[in-house]
Chains A and B, each alone.
Chain A
Amino acid sequence: MVILLIVGSIAIGFMVGVLFLGLSRKVKARIHWRYGPPLYQPIIDIVKLFHQGSVSHGFIFDFGILLSLGGAIVSLLFIPIGNIIPLHGSGGLLVVLYLMLIAPFGIALSSVEAANPNASIGISRKFILTLGYEIPFLLIVLSVMTNYGTTSFVEIVALQRASHWGIISMPLSGIALLLILPAMMGIRPFDQVGAPQEISSGPKVEYGGIYLALSKIQHIYLIFIDIALFVALFMGGSSEPLTFFLKMLPIFLIVILVSTVYPRFRIEQAFSYCIKWPTIIAFLGLLVVIWR
């Protein structure tokens, strides 16, 4: 039964993530007044990348990318997708906090082996950005745990269904998470890490073929996990996958609209943004939760 749940969770994460990626390209194209690629374009890209040749730079290069993909998949298993939550007995929110750091760490290992200066710059930017958004994210998670008195996703969702959504009982924390969501997903205006125009797509500069396919799949899971976290913590989760997906859709569209309109921050602007407004709002949210 657990195996079935794990397979189902991974499959749903992949399909919804691919759909989101295709949708984002289509929505961006429509905003640019273009027709845009077909909705299944990410699948074509991934199929092509698996058929393309590639160059390996050593064992750590192969291992790092697998580590980052594995980290993304494992953290997916702790997220409740509707009633599908394979590893609900253990950990919960705290484990997800730790596991979400494995993905950038794996990419960093892999890029060190490639020894490309662009990759090193990209990795240093990634960790600066991570340092920026982890502070408000920890404050938000702390206020959620304080408010509901538990670290289990199942109980948080159940408590929200008993009263009302988290965004109503702690609006400041919800807003703060929405503000750092693009930074966590690594999309514009926070795509300094893989900026193609500045540092030749950063850590991905030496990836080709199957490596690029794996890193693309990892990005797909990352998008899914970040939006699913918001829905589970602040929008009441769901009792079935379909409603969960319908709740994820507007959040994703908001993020995409912001990313289409705004240009890229410089890395120090992104860092000072992250530790200024989202942190202040998240801290106020924590104070309100404690004093209530």
Chain B
Amino acid sequence: MDREQVIKALKDSGKWGHKYSFWVVYFCTGCGIIEIPPVITSRWDAERFGIIPVATPRQANLFLITGYVSLKTLRPIIRTYEQMPEPKYTVGFGSCPINGGMYWDSYNTIKHLDKYIPIDGWIAGCMPRPEAIFIAITHLWTMIDKGMANAYKKYRKQYKYYRRNQEMALGELQWPPLYPIDEDE
């Protein structure tokens, strides 16, 4: 850590903490999860950037959705995202959550994940290499520095839109709304 970084860390310690200590929930929806074990073990060693996997959404601040999202897994994804404490960051991994990918014609996968939960960034590719995760992380650092990684604020602001989309995909939801919804808007 050089002198410039020390000053930066002292000036905004929260930002410094959020940047260099990502605790990740990996949502193992599809084939994308096969790229994660090399990332967190000896070959690519994500822990040198402070990235460690955690077991529960309460402790996490980064949510990585790896692979296609079927209607069945959309429900736990929304539940997991809503349980994470703020500030939280979300990254979609692979082309399936971006636009459906090779499951474009499928009857039971959703095509655009960012209609249902807000996404900070995407990693395109089928499959992306493990290096792409580190590129995404450095992009996320830049976004946190500039205050652009605020998708979780968007979720609070436009909750009505997201809730309506979730209800359209899943039917009646079994949980109460996370934020109050104004019907007048």
Contact = CB atoms under 8 A, between A and B. Distances in A.
Interface in B19-46: 20-21, 41-42, 45
Given A33-B42, A35-B48, A52-B85, A47 B17 contact: yes
Interface in A25-51: 25, 29, 32-38, 40-41, 44-45, 47-51
A53 B45 contact: no
Interface residues on B, range: 20 to 34
Interface stretch (A2-10, A95-103, A197-205, A256-264): A197-205
A208 B58 contact: yes
A54 B21 CA distance: 17
Given A36-B48, A208-B85, A48 B58 contact: no
A153 interface: no
Contacts of B41: 32, 34
Interface stretch (B49-57, B73-81, B165-173): B49-57
A231 to B, nearest CB: 29
A34 B48 contact: yes
B42 A207 contact: no
Contacts of A196: 53-55
Interface residues on A, range: 20 to 34
B128 interface: no
A50 B16 CA distance: 12
A33 B1 CA distance: 23
Given A44-B17, A44-B50, A52 B61 contact: yes
B125 interface: no
A200 B20 CA distance: 23
Contacts of B13: 47, 51
Contacts of B48: 29, 34-38
B153 to A, nearest CB: 12
A212 B42 CA distance: 27
Nearest to B51: A37
Interface of A: 25, 29, 32-38, 40-41, 44-45, 47-55, 196-197, 200-201, 204-209, 212
17 contacts: A29-B48, A33-B42, A34-B42, A34-B47, A36-B45, A41-B50, A44-B17, A44-B20, A44-B50, A47-B13, A47-B21, A50-B17, A52-B85, A55-B58, A196-B54, A201-B54, A204-B56
